[in-house]
Amino acid sequence: MHQTLRPGGGSVATAMSARTGHDPAAARAADSSETTWRLKEDHDRSAADINDVVTHRLFSAGLALQTALGLMDGHPAGQSIHDALAELDQAIIDLRDTVFGTRPTGSPRSGTPG
């Protein structure tokens, strides 16, 4: 019989036979594997949604600050706005690194003095 592999490494045939009550340990393992797979799917979807929404809001705030900076023409507060723009850019990088796991957990961000 042809066996289709499920996420987590078990075959569909093994999972189905496990659920019929022939092997309680196999049934628990199949349920655990399926739960893990579904949790990972939910995590990935949530991470992408958070990245999209929060990054969009940070980017919009940055554009508004850039517009304000352009209207200030040498005002002393211009440097503060420029610094805030740099922080927003770094926040977007940090968000993407955190959401997509491109930086080890607990490592300092690249812009933090150390």
**pLDDT one digit per residue (tens) for the chain, 114 residues:** 444 444 555 555 555 555 555 677 777 777 888 888 888 888 888 888 888 888 899 999 999 999 999 998 889 999 999 999 999 999 999 988 888 776 555 555 554 443
Answer yes or no: is 108 within a domain: no
In a domain, 4, yes or no: no
Q: Looking only at Cα atoms, what is the longest distance across the chain?
A: 78
Q: What is the pLDDT of residue 2?
A: 46
Output the pLDDT for position 103. Answer: 58
In a domain, 86, yes or no: yes
3-state secondary structure of 107: coil
Three-state DSSP state, 5: strand
43, part of any domain: yes
State which residues form the domain around 47: 12-100
Instruction: Look at the chain and report how many structural domains it folds into.
Output: 1
Is position 47 within any domain? yes
Tell me the pTM: 0.53
Residue 95 lies in a domain: yes
